[in-house]
Amino acid sequence: MESFVQHVVLVVTVLLFVAAAVAAAVKRVRLPYTVALVITGAVLATSGRWLASRGLLDPGLLDGVQLQPGVVLYVLLPILLYEAAFNLDSRRLIKNLFPIVVLAVPAVVISTAVVGLVLYLFGDIPHARTLTAALLFGAMVSTTDAVAVVAIFREIGAPKRLNTLVEGEALFNSGTALVVFIIVASILLAPPGLEKSAGALVWQALSSFVVMALGGLAVGVGVGFVVSRIIGRVEDDPLIEITLCTVSAFLSFLLGGYLGVSDVMAVIGAGLTVGNYGRTKFSPAVLKPLEHYWHYLAFVANSIIFLLVGFSLRAGEMLDHAGAIAVAIAAVLVARAAGIYPLIALVNRFLPERIDFRYQTIMWWGGIRGALVLVMALGLSSFDAQVLANLGGSGATPGWAQWLEFKSYVLHLAFGIVFFTILVNAASIKPWVNVLGLAGYTPSERFEATS
């Protein structure tokens, strides 16, 4: 037990040191921080395996440095979601809520369907219920991560409305995609003989989505409201106020999961509530340290995640699936376009201030896929017991071998998409912004900042 704890402390210490070194280095080179982290992780992993193959490094050290779904889901993800929701400008969010909700719900459903259909038609999916399996992968890769893009926006001073749209969409579509993923997984893994009609499946999916998504938001808002009221009764004690704020993040996540609703949506609801309603309850002297506190936690969480994403790279294995990965990447880009351009064109009919076509293009290309995609891919192993039960408890069947092959196939495709969007999309978003003339705040935003 002691050696395990020592190993964990060593790994975290090394990761934080590397993250600090990369953060200092990117100030001298024109490379987004998250992209640099992934590249650094991949270089370290490749070097470590080369040393291990020659007996110069203990292979056990490398085995312990892996992307663990449980750690990401229960420790790092609540931090990232809460920090983003807590700092989201409520006025800009409300002003752009309609397009954000459209991009976070219908666009995710469209993306799931398009990716699933393309993979069904052109990908060789190793699973008996192929279309449903393809849709499961579609739901998995339909969530976006705005961390890299928003960091670049802040660096070059991109329009604040564009920042709000990108960040707001990524915040809410994470919850939507995870809910859709769970629903499709329940359909895919239903015992044989319990198939339902198309109408019954649609009704089941819609009702489950509403209960999980809205229920999660309600739980989060409730936790945020109660914690905000308690904070308001604290007599100017920064340590207690910041601690209660932290409690609201993890309590909402755990309570959402315990009640069977979306834990991701619960964290978002809590973050939005405490970050807006609760902000007036904090002591004035606490607000600035609190913002720095969450900013630092988000920095640590993102650094660990992106380093581990790079460290998990298996170039040789991914090359074996290069054709399928190329199809999946093309499907994701097409699905992203199908969810952005037609829906925004429709939304623009009802908006007093239309969303510029240039904004739409940046939102399309800036649809980076991050750690949550890999968490869902790695999380397929949690369904092993259910698959075995469906197979009569025997792993010595073609069905079990097919399930194992499906998990490996999905994981390689997920890694391929994440690496492509980070190393290509994220790395090239700054030139896109400059070419489209979106670097710098709009005249109205400059006036607002100086008034």
pLDDT digits (tens, 9 = 90+) for 318-342: 777 888 899 999 999 999 999 999 9
Distance CA 243, CA 274 (A): 13
Instruction: Report, as an integer, the average pLDDT of 418-424.
Output: 89
Burial level of 304, CB count in 10 A (0-12/13-18/19+)?
Answer: buried
pLDDT above 60 for 451: no
Q: CA angle 361-363-364, nearest 5°?
A: 65
Distance CA 23, CA 16 (A): 10
The single residue listed with the structure tokens 């020592």 is 6
Classify residue 72 by its DSSP letter.
Answer: I
- Residue 157 Ramachandran class (φ > 0 left, ψ -120 to 50 alpha, else beta): left
Give me the helix-helix angle, 97-104 and 160-188, nearest 10°. Answer: 30
Burial level of 54, CB count in 10 A (0-12/13-18/19+)?
Answer: exposed
- Residue 150 Ramachandran class (φ > 0 left, ψ -120 to 50 alpha, else beta): alpha
Q: How many CB atoms lie within 10 A of CB 27?
A: 7
Contacts of 94 (CB under 8 A, 6+ apart): none
Which segment, 84-93, 275-284, 338-347, is predicted with the most confidence on average?
A: 338-347
Q: CA angle 402-404-406, nearest 5°?
A: 70
The secondary structure of 133-159, three-state, reads HHHHHHHHCCCCCCHHHHHHHHHHCCC
CB 26 within 8 A of CB 32: yes
Q: What is the pLDDT of residues 245-280, one digit of tens each?
A: 999 999 999 999 999 898 989 999 999 999 989 888
Classify residue 302 by its DSSP letter.
Answer: H
Distance CA 280, CA 111 (A): 39
Give me the amino acid identity at 243.
T
Distance CA 61, CA 281 (A): 46
Distance CA 272, CA 84 (A): 9
Distances (CA, A) of 285 to 52, 224, 289, 293: 51, 21, 8, 13
Backbone angles phi, psi at 236, to 5 degrees: 45, 60
pLDDT above 50 for 281: yes
Q: What is the DSSP string of 204-268?
A: HHHHHHHHHHHHHHHHHHHHHHHHHHHHHTS-S-HHHHHHHHHHHHHHHHHHHHHTTS-HHHHHH
Distance CA 412, CA 417 (A): 9
Q: Tokens standing for 345?
A: 């064109």
Distance CA 47, CA 166 (A): 36
Q: Tokens standing for 277?
A: 């309603």
Q: What is the pLDDT of residues 114-160, one digit of tens each?
A: 999 999 888 777 766 688 889 999 999 999 887 778 777 877 777 88
Q: What is the DSSP string of 412-424?
A: HHHHHHHHHIIII
Distance CA 356, CA 38 (A): 32
Burial level of 436, CB count in 10 A (0-12/13-18/19+)?
Answer: middle
Q: What is the pLDDT of residues 358-384, one digit of tens each?
A: 999 999 998 889 888 888 888 888 888
Classify residue 351 by its DSSP letter.
Answer: -
Burial level of 449, CB count in 10 A (0-12/13-18/19+)?
Answer: exposed
Instruction: Report, as an integer, the average pLDDT of 286-305.
Output: 91
- At residue 179, the pLDDT reads 85
Torsion over CA of 49, 51, 56 and 61, rounded to 10 degrees? -30
Q: What is the C-alpha end-to-end distance of the chain, expressed in Å?
A: 59
Length reported for the chain: 451
Tell me the pLDDT of the chain averaged across its residues: 84
Strand ranges in 376-427 using DSSP code E only, listed in sequence order: none
pLDDT above 60 for 444: no
pTM of the full structure:
0.86
- At residue 450, the pLDDT reads 39
